[in-house]
Amino acid sequence: MIVDNMQKDNELFLELMDYFFKYIERSRKNATEHPDYKIGKNNYHLLSENEKMAIGILKYMSKVFGLNSDLEKTHTFIRRFPIKEYYKKNEIDQLEFIKYHYEVFIHKIHTLLEVKKLWLNDFFEIGLKEEDCNWNKLKTYKKIQKSPAYKIIDNYFKSFKHIIEFRHLNTHRAFYMDSDIEFLKIDLQIYNIHEKYKIEIPEYYKTITPRFVVDYQIKKYRKEKLEYIKNGIRIAELYSNQFISIILQEFFSELLEEDKLKSK
* Angle, CA of 209, 187 and 99, to the nearest 5°: 135
The mean of the pLDDT values for the chain is 93
Measure the CA–CA gap between 122 and 110, rounded to whole angstroms. 19
Q: What pLDDT does 1 receive?
A: 43
Instruction: Provide Rg for the chain, Cα atoms.
Output: 25
At residue 182, the pLDDT reads: 84
Q: What is the pLDDT of residues 131-162, one digit of tens each?
A: 999 999 999 999 999 999 999 999 999 999 99
Each residue's pLDDT tens digit, 191-230? 999 888 999 988 888 888 999 999 999 999 999 999 999 9
pLDDT tens digits, residue range 91-116?
A: 899 999 999 999 999 999 999 999 99
Q: Hey, is 139 helix, strand or coil?
A: coil
Taking the C-alpha atoms of residue 236 and residue 130, their distance in angstroms, rounded to an integer, is 23
| CA 109 centroid distance within chain | 5
Residue 122, pLDDT > 50, answer yes
Nearest to 74 by CA among 111, 42, 102: 102
Vertex 72: Cα angle to 69 and 73 (nearest 5): 90
Query: Binning pLDDT at 50, 70 and 90, where does residue 190 land?
Result: very high
pLDDT tens figures, 57-94:
999 999 999 999 999 999 999 999 998 889 988 989 99
State the pLDDT confidence band at 260, using cuts at 50, 70 and 90.
low
- Residue 3: predicted pLDDT: 46
d(CA 164, CA 166): 5
Q: Which pLDDT belongs to residue 245? A: 97
Identify residue 156 by its one-letter amino acid code. Y
Question: How far is residue 248's CA from residue 250's CA, in Å, rounded to a whole number?
Answer: 5
Per-residue model confidence (pLDDT) at position 254: 87
Distance CA 153, CA 147 (A): 11
CB atoms < 10 A from the CB of 33, how many? 9
User: Which of 28-32, 44-48, 203-207 shows the lowest per-residue confidence on average (mean pLDDT)?
Assistant: 203-207
pLDDT, position 71: 98
What pLDDT does 125 receive? 96
Phi first, then psi, for residue 104 (nearest 5°) are: -60, -45
Residues of the chain above pLDDT 70, percent: 96
Percentages helix, strand, coil for the chain (3-state, rounded to 5) are 80, 0, 20
263: confidence class by pLDDT, cuts 50, 70, 90: low
- pTM comes to 0.91
Domain range summary for the chain, segments of one domain joined by +: 61-259
Question: How far is the C-alpha of 77 from the C-alpha of 161, rounded, in Å?
Answer: 24
